[in-house]
Amino acid sequence: MVELVRIGELPIVMVELVRIDLVKIEELRMVMLELVRIELVMIELVTRQNVVPVTYK
């Protein structure tokens, strides 16, 4: 699975390739969500849906 913490650095084409993997974020454990929550906003934009209900700072 793609390193979600780096998703902001991926080119658009790469994002297209990992789109299916992005939906798997809802399977991540809470500790992992802590590490990637900043990128969750971008993931929501890419998938055009709220994959995970997340409260941001």
Per the document, the length of the chain is 57
Write down the pTM of the prediction. 0.17
Q: How many CB atoms lie within 10 A of CB 46?
A: 18
The pLDDT value given to residue 28: 53
In the chain, domain spans:
4-47
Contact 40, 25 (CB under 8 A): yes
Q: What's the rounded Cα separation, in Å, for the pair 37 and 54?
A: 8
The pLDDT value given to residue 44: 56
Give the pLDDT of the chain (57 residues) as one tens digit per residue.
Answer: 445 545 555 555 445 555 555 555 555 555 454 555 556 555 555 555 444 444 444
C-alpha radius of gyration, the chain, whole number? 10
Q: What's the rounded Cα separation, in Å, for the pair 25 and 19?
A: 11
